[in-house]
Amino acid sequence: MRFAAHYLADYKKESLLAPLFKMLEAIFELFVPLVMARIIDVGIANNDRVYIIRQGGMLIILAAVGLAVAVTAQYFSAKAAINAAGKMRSDLFFHIMKFSRGTLGEKGTASLVTRITNDVNQVQNGMNMFLRLFLRSPFIVFGAMIMAFTVDVKAALVFAVLIPLLGLFVYLVMHSTLPRFKRIQEGLEKILLTVNENLEGVRVIRAFRVEEAQNRRFREETGSLYRQQIGAGRISALLNPVTYALINLGIATLLLVSGVRVSAGSLTQGESVALVNYMSQILVELIKLANLIILLTRAVSSADRLSDILSTDPDERIHEKEETPSDTADAIEISDLSFTYPRNRDKALSDITLSVGKGQTLGIIGGTGSGKSTLVRLLRHAYDPVSGSILLNGRDIRSIPDQDIVGMIGHVPQKAQLFYGSIRYNLELAKPDATEKEMWDALEAACAREIVEKKENGLDEIVQRGGTNFSGGQKQRLTIARALIKRPEILILDDSASALDMLTERKLRDNIKALPWHPTTVIISQRASSVMDADQILVLDGGECKGLGRSEELLHTCPIYREIYSTQFELKEEA
């Protein structure tokens, strides 16, 4: 509720005008029974045909003005609700774009996308209907009651009893269906997950012959969804019938009271008709309201899911005040660096200390889960170090604004990923003002020139969604070009040449060494040959530094390095 209100606040004018016009419409509607009562009590009683026709004209005028006012109101409410939803979408998107890797993995991209699309839609419909009806309906309901009081106080007491009763009932229904709708939503998400797993994992499922187990799982999940739906339906099935029944009983009571009052001479026949009309107006309004409650309960549970996203802290990092860079410092200086992932027990990195001079090359080698990728994440300040520090050009990483880090570091991640658009577009993502020459230079250095040249449309060749029209090796080279194009001071290659053959990889390494701006380079690889020439090599195991130095030194001092090295160079001898 508060969530939606916050967004509607940006469209204050529309959000206020919409219900206001709806209220005007309601007022015009409320006059109708009065006019009709006059037709009966004055026109028919006095046989005044002219009066009847004139009052008839009055009814048409009320209707026409009502139409104009209603259309205006619909316009304002559509504008407010949909623009607010648009703002919601962009807030969510901007917020999610700030999520750290961990948060993204935890929430799951599919679920995040569903929230921005489906949930925002539910909230939008809810807001729209709220603006249109949640003020109009109570206004008609209470307006009709007040009008009834102006007609006859004693008869109107029926309204005063009935309306709170209806209100209570509607509240109870809403209150008890809300959590049920939430569970239904969760049930749907569960079966979606099962379907997706069975599509993505079809080979594993068939190879392990667990089709029957999957079928049982799906049957259970759809069965429990069914029970949830029936449970929620049991309550909402009462909504319309109870409303109808209460109103009809109200009309009967009203007619009885009217009979007594008319008999005593304190009420006319026409006024009785007006009272019954008011009661019927309330009925029509409440039926609409009741159907909307379903929509609103859904909207409220969607809004909860949205505010859950927005209240997730995407960035727990510390940003300290700016320090002045010193030109004499090393490019990378790491001291006593330790790190533990949030919600994890063990250290992912412990007590790493090293420094890399400008233009030098650092190689990192180590096993799966040894902390190589963690170190890279810390270098680009995706997380804060738990203890120890990282200095880039002598500045503490926590004091460097994010956009400066982005400009400083060119990082080629393990998994080569291209975006839908042209090759040119993909390069421009890293450097929006890149010239044609800069693009070709970067491609050349990344050994990717021939890939682009072979394509019919060159740089404007379309990259399909997920980059499916390029092979793994081609994608890797293109992502390297993308990292090179902004001429980063520090270049990080995270096992990014794994799909390349040795010859191409060697050429790539030579090209990188020959880059005119001499970037400091960090190479992470599984191949000893890739890091062999580095100025120093860091050997990681279980998050700890097991060796640091040149290849020749490590061969003497570091058994793990020697082991890796020997498996690869034994081969060479044999060949």
Q: Does 9 bind other proteins (CB under 8 A)?
A: no
Site for other proteins in 412-431 (CB under 8 A): 413-415, 417, 419-420, 428-430
For β-strands 361-366 and 520-524, DSSP reports them as parallel
Residue count, binding to other proteins (CB under 8 A)? 180
- Are 485 and 430 spatial neighbours (Cβ–Cβ below 8 Å)? yes
Instruction: Please give the Cα distance from 85 to 77 (Å, whole number).
Output: 12
Site for other proteins in 506-525 (CB under 8 A): 506
Which one of 20, 27, 104, 354 is in contact with other proteins (CB under 8 A)? 104
Q: Does 44 bind other proteins (CB under 8 A)?
A: yes
Q: Residue 157 or residue 225: which is nearer to other proteins going by CB?
A: 225
Which one of 19, 126, 270, 385 is in contact with other proteins (CB under 8 A)? 270
Instruction: Please give the Cα distance from 497 to 481 (Å, whole number).
Output: 12
Written as six digits, the tokens of 286 are 């409440």
Minimum distance of other proteins from residue 487's CB (angstroms): 13
Instruction: Please give the Cα distance from 215 to 293 (Å, whole number).
Output: 36
Instruction: Please give the Cα distance from 235 to 124 (Å, whole number).
Output: 25
Which one of 8, 17, 32, 300 is in contact with other proteins (CB under 8 A)? 32
Q: Which stretch binds other proteins (CB under 8 A): 76-84, 173-181, 297-305, 548-556?
A: 76-84
Site for other proteins in 364-403 (CB under 8 A): 365-370, 373, 380, 382, 402-403
- Residue the block writes with tokens 């099962």: 194
Minimum distance of other proteins from residue 328's CB (angstroms): 27
Which one of 9, 12, 13, 109 is in contact with other proteins (CB under 8 A)? 109
Give the bridge partners for 522, in sequence order.
362, 492
Give the bridge partners for 391, in sequence order.
333, 396
Q: Does 321 bind other proteins (CB under 8 A)?
A: no
Instruction: Please give the Cα distance from 252 to 454 (Å, whole number).
Output: 85
Which one of 237, 316, 387, 513 is in contact with other proteins (CB under 8 A)? 237
- Residue the block writes with tokens 């577009």: 425
Q: Does 122 bind other proteins (CB under 8 A)?
A: no
Minimum distance of other proteins from residue 322's CB (angstroms): 19
Minimum distance of other proteins from residue 363's CB (angstroms): 13
Binding mask 482-511 for other proteins (x = CB under 8 A): x---x-----------xx-xxx--x-----
Written as six digits, the tokens of 279 are 């009661």
Report the alpha-carbon angle 175-309-4, nearest 5. 50
Instruction: Please give the Cα distance from 519 to 92 (Å, whole number).
Output: 36
Instruction: Please give the Cα distance from 113 to 111 (Å, whole number).
Output: 5
Q: Does 126 bind other proteins (CB under 8 A)?
A: no
Q: Which stretch binds other proteins (CB under 8 A): 2-10, 185-193, 353-361, 449-457?
A: 185-193
Site for other proteins in 526-545 (CB under 8 A): 526-529, 532, 541-542
Q: Does 359 bind other proteins (CB under 8 A)?
A: no
DSSP collapsed to 3 states, 238-261:
HHHHHHHHHHHHHHHHHHHHHHHH
Instruction: Please give the Cα distance from 286 to 139 (Å, whole number).
Output: 11
Which one of 90, 150, 326, 353 is in contact with other proteins (CB under 8 A)? 90
Q: Does 341 bind other proteins (CB under 8 A)?
A: yes
Burial of 464 (0-12, 13-18, 19+ CB in 10 A): exposed
For residue 531, give the nearest of 555, 556, 559 by alpha carbon: 555
Which one of 6, 89, 358, 449 is in contact with other proteins (CB under 8 A)? 89
Q: Does 313 bind other proteins (CB under 8 A)?
A: no
Which spans in 311-366 are helix H?
none
Q: Which stretch binds other proteins (CB under 8 A): 67-75, 142-150, 154-162, 455-463?
A: 67-75
